[in-house]
C-alpha cells in the first residue's frame, strides 16, 4: 500500500507541475513597448478624429495582463508622470494583444490619452505600479513622418522603421511560414512523420509493458492485504508475491465488489426463540371478560 501511495504521489506531482507550466501567471514583465509613431502628419487618427503621436503596448504573455496602475513617462527623472487608471476593462490586455496610448498632452479625453507629447530623440518608459521598477524603455532617435518605429516582430529585440504602420496589429506584415509548412519542405513524402509516429507508439507500448510488469507484484500483495482487512479468517494466511491468474483476480474483484455493495446473503446458523413473559393467554383472562350483563 505504501508503494502505491508513493507512486500515486509522484504521478500527482508530475500532473500538477505540467498543469502549472500551462497556467502562465500574470506578470508586468510580459508587457513591451512595441511600436511608436512620433510624427503623425497623415497617419492613424484617434477617437476624436485627430492625428497625434501614439504608443503601442504589447502583451507577450499567453494570459491577460492588466496594465492599470502602471506608469508611462517621457522623463527619466519623473517615472510617475502618467498614471494609468485602474479598474477599467480597457486596461486588461488580452493574450498576445495590444493597447494604444495617444500622446496629445490632453489626459482629460480618456484613459488612453497621455499628459505629454512624443519628441524626436526623446525617451519613453513603462514602470510598474510601485513607480520604481522599470518594465521597458526606449530611447528614440531621429524619426520619419508617418513612419512608425518599433520591434520588427512583436515582442522581439530588434528595432527599426516598419514598412507599414500597424497600430493594434502585428508588426511583421510579411509572409509567415508556419512550422507545418517548414516540415513539409523537409519531408515532402511524409516518411519522417510516419517514422516519428510509429516510434512514439512503440515507445509508449514499451513503457506500459515495463510499468505493468514491475507493478504486478505490488498489486497482488495489495489485494491480499485488503482481504486480510476484510476477512479476519485469513489473517493467519501467509502472504507471498506469487503471480495470480487473471481469472483469480477477476473473482477477487467481484467478491470485493459484492462485499462492499452488500449484495451477498446473510446466512444465520443459530435460531433464537424469545420466551413469552406471560404464562397464560390474555384471551382467557377474567379481567378482560364482561362485568355487566348487557340489557
Query: What pLDDT was estimated at residue 279?
Result: 58
Extract the C-alpha cell encoding 233.
479468517
Residue 239 CB: number of other CB atoms within 10 A? 12
Domain residue spans of the chain: 27-173, 190-260
Query: What pLDDT was estimated at residue 102?
Result: 97
Look up cell 490586455; give the residue.
Answer: 93
**Dihedral (CA of 196, 201, 204, 209) sign:** negative
* CATH superfamily placement of domain 27-173: Lamin Tail domain (2.60.40.1260)
Query: What pLDDT was estimated at residue 12?
Result: 61
Query: What pLDDT was estimated at residue 24?
Result: 43
Query: What pLDDT was estimated at residue 214?
Result: 74
Query: What is the residue-level pLDDT of the chain in tens, covering all 295 positions?
Result: 555 545 655 576 666 656 554 444 457 889 999 999 999 999 999 999 999 999 999 999 999 999 999 999 999 999 999 999 999 999 999 999 999 999 999 999 999 999 999 999 999 999 999 999 999 999 999 999 999 999 999 999 999 999 999 999 999 888 777 777 777 888 888 888 888 889 999 999 999 888 887 776 555 555 555 555 555 554 445 545 556 677 888 888 888 877 777 655 555 565 555 555 555 555 555 555 556 666 6
**Dihedral (CA of 113, 116, 117, 123) sign:** negative
With beta carbons less than 8 A apart as the criterion, state whether 58 and 98 touch: yes
Amino acid at each position: 500500500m505504501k508503494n502505491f501511495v508513493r507512486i500515486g504521489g509522484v504521478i500527482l506531482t508530475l500532473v500538477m507541475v505540467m498543469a502549472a507550466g500551462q497556467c502562465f501567471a500574470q506578470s508586468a514583465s510580459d508587457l513591451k513597448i512595441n511600436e511608436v509613431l512620433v510624427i503623425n502628419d497623415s497617419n492613424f487618427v484617434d477617437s476624436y478624429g485627430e492625428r497625434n503621436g501614439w504608443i503601442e503596448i504589447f502583451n507577450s504573455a499567453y494570459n491577460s495582463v492588466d496594465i492599470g496602475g502602471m506608469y508611462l513617462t517621457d522623463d527619466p527623472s519623473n517615472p510617475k508622470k502618467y498614471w494609468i487608471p485602474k479598474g477599467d476593462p480597457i486596461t486588461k490586455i488580452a493574450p498576445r494583444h495590444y493597447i494604444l496610448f495617444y500622446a496629445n498632452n490632453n489626459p482629460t479625453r480618456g484613459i488612453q490619452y497621455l499628459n505629454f507629447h512624443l519628441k524626436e530623440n526623446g525617451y519613453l518608459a513603462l514602470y510598474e505600479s510601485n513607480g520604481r521598477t522599470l518594465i521597458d524603455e526606449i530611447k528614440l532617435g531621429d524619426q520619419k513622418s508617418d513612419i512608425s518605429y518599433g520591434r520588427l516582430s512583436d515582442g522581439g529585440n530588434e528595432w527599426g522603421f516598419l514598412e507599414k504602420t500597424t497600430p493594434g496589429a502585428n508588426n511583421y506584415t510579411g509572409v509567415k511560414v508556419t512550422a507545418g509548412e517548414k516540415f513539409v519542405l523537409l519531408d515532402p513524402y511524409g516518411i519522417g512523420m510516419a517514422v516519428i509516429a510509429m516510434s512514439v507508439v512503440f515507445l509508449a507500448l514499451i513503457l506500459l509493458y515495463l510499468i505493468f510488469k514491475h507493478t504486478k507484484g505490488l498489486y497482488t500483495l495489495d489485494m491480499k492485504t485488503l482481504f486480510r482487512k476484510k476477512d479476519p479468517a485469513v489473517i493467519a494466511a501467509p502472504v507471498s508475491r506469487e503471480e495470480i491468474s487473471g481469472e483469480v483476480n477477476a473473482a477477487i474483484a467481484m467478491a470485493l465488489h459484492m462485499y462492499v455493495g452488500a449484495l451477498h446473503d446473510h446466512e444465520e446458523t443459530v435460531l433464537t426463540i424469545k420466551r413469552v413473559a406471560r404464562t397464560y393467554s390474555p384471551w382467557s383472562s377474567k379481567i378482560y371478560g364482561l362485568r355487566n350483563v348487557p340489557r
